[in-house]
Structure 1
Amino acid sequence: MKKKSILFGLLIVVLFIFTMKVNAASIRCTPTSVYVGDQITCTISDVADDEEVSVTTSLNRVSGKTTITKSDVDNGDNNIVYSAKSTGTYNITAKTTDWTSNPVRITVSEKTTTTTTTTTTKSRSSNNYLSSITIDGEEIDDFSKNTTRYFIEVENDVTKVSIDAEAEDDTAEVDIDGPNSLEVGDNEYTISVTSEDDTTKFYKVIVTRKDEEESSNTGIKRIKVRGYNFKFNKNSKTFYLNIDKEDTELDITVTLNDKNASYEIEGNENLKDGSVIRIIVTAEDNSSDTYRIIITKNDTNYIPIIIGVIALIIIIVIIAFIIIKKKKSKNNKDNKNNKGKKKEKESEVDKEDTEKTKKIPPLSSDTIDIAKENNQDESGEEIDDDDDIIHIDNDEEEKTRILSYAEKEELKRLEELNKNDVDSKIDEELGKTMLFNNDDDDID
């Protein structure tokens, strides 16, 4: 009985161990055959509560953890992504502390590239339209690619035109055929446009040259009148000309715009104030036009003469003013010189008077004593106490300095005489100077 119990216990232990191995972690990887650069995803599952599963491989890990726990499995964070950089066989192995999985074998091959060449054949264009037509460098205003016929009219003097056309499609070819010179009447030009697919469209340009007609041009290019500055204006038919009083006929030359036209001049004789000269121009078609020149005559024009006389008077006045001013300036200078000479002569006279005064003989001592005793001067008259008597201690100076009334009067007389002589001499010298200056002016 005891043996049976032991065997039963061993069986339970074995079953427990087997159960544990059956419940061990697992690893699954897909795909197992890839090309270089492709990715492999490995999923770890059946991880026990206390287990940690480590995954090892030589492949390049792109995402995911290298160690997975049960909580990672429960949270869905149990995937690991790898990629292969080169060809070969790689093993991926999962391990726990007491368990190692069988390695998962991954085969990496070189990727092969398949090139598919598609050849597309472009269809040829059928566009045979024109985009423009030009005649002598100017585009036809009402051109339309759908209008294939155009009419152009030119004057009779136009003998040649240049026509050009441009295709709407660059692959189309344009050809122009027509006469080299224009005849009077219709001249047809054909423009052919050939598309890339060899379809052709034709455009027609008919140039009509007008018949030759007689000119109706009665215009004047210029009018010349000999001896006068005639101002011609082509926009006017009436002109005014002021001529000399003695002129009775003018030499007129007319140049016409049209060489086939002619002109005739009327009224160009016996010209007087108010006369009208008519220039009648007749065109090639016999149409005519009249141009008029109205004559004006003035009496002798005194204005230039008056202006000349006034100008001459002004010049004479200016010259006279300059001469007078020059003489005044010279006289002022002479007067200054004369005044200087007069002052010099007066100075000389004063000097002579002083010398004469000094030469008056001294009074005798007897005369002085008698005058003092009688209180009289030498003439016997009483001397007023207010008379100017200068008393000087020096006897010699006193004899020469004490003057009587008679001496004073004599001294005044001599001074007056000397002054008159000096003035007469100065006047005489001034007269000579003025006479000399006048002689110089006459010589100038």
Structure 2
Amino acid sequence: MTWRRLHLVRALAASGLVSSLMILGSPLATAQAVDSEPSTLPSGAETETVDLLKASKAGDLSVTARGQGQDKVRLTIHNTSSKRLNVIVPPGLVASSAAGQGGGRGFQSMGLGMITNRPGAFGQFLGAQNATGLRSVPVAGSSSSASVAVPVGETLDVSIPAVCLNYGVDTPTPRDSFTLVDVDEYSTDVRVRKALRSLALLGTSQGVAQASMWRICNGVAFEAMASRDGKVVNDHEIALAARFVDAVDASNADLVDPSLLTEGRVYVQIVAEGAFAADAKRLNGKLEGLRLLGLPIQSVDGDQPPSAKAPALFVRLTVATSEIGETRGRVNVSYCSSEDHWRPLGKTAFSDHSSLAVLDSSSLVQSLESELVRTFVTVTPAKRTVTSTMLRVENRLPFTLASVRLRAGTSPGSPSVPFAAVGVGPARSALLPIQAGQAVVESADLNGL
């Protein structure tokens, strides 16, 4: 088979997409062959991972950027080097319109997400331990899952999620072209630089990222967004954006301190009456240091809801019965929509295959998380083919889903399929493909943003 016929398969395989297309659900770039491509793969061809902006300035890539509506930018990337290039969009990249920077004229400038983001997601979703102290991600250590491969002499068209940096300015169209620049070159405002780079590294939903940048770049009040821009950002995303903006102002480093986004987000209380009260108190006292849905737990004592800064979750487990081999109870979940203002989010049942007397706090939290995920993160088939199913993932939690793990089938022995960097915003949904007729949510992680 000639190189001309293999070029698309190899381009996708180099970015890890052929073998995991239906399993991992990564978005695909549309590859277009050029007439001058060789008929066979060049002998000794090398592969290199490169920063899009740096490689463009070095002459290894020819890149054009054009408008694609209010939430995407279209990049055409041509590999002019002698190597196969795995291309990464650096965090903090801006598609700049000179008129947009002037304010009130021309079309919007756009802050870019990652080249492999799914629709609705924005950023890399680095763990807090990886993001702390990093101003940018070194290309040499970047995962191939965050890049797309461009073979020698070929051209790829990719659509990248983006956020508007000029509120009220005209939406860019395919006729509009951008200049790609680092955010440090785009703006002298330290808050703008810190915010865009942090969002691109930590990851969130596109709605949270958009509300954050409108506030920081243009000073738009969150109340105004809620009343005028409900189709773009919802109330939960505005609440998350408000806390992110506070974190931008509270962080002295180049990036937002992730702990400002994760601490004080999840509160848990375990209670019981009568014979079970002592064991419930024992377990409640050992919750500190554990994590629920990926976020650190703060235990709650007393009869009153905790004092919290929005947004936050309060999970209250009331043990009802316990006998040999089983503990049952009910779970009431509330969320904080504004400071110390708690509203009911929902409720679910609780069960664990251990008696309360022998149950440890880690096992209890694991069982509690399973019940919460099944209740507040649901999957339903949206479209079926002979070999796969497109699933609709609904997020009823007031935070963005950073990742989910699905069981491909309903039987306990079915394989688990992880989906990283899904970026499903609160009260939103996303489509994920899987090679099974149906699936069950096994776990979900939040990053507080």
The structure whose RCO (Cα within 8 Å, separation 6+) is larger is: 2
Q: Mark yes or no: TM-score above 0.5.
A: no
Q: Please give the range of the TM-score, normalised by the shorter of the 2 chains.
A: under 0.3
Instruction: Using structure 1 for the length normalisation, give the TM-score.
Output: 0.13
* Rg larger for: 1
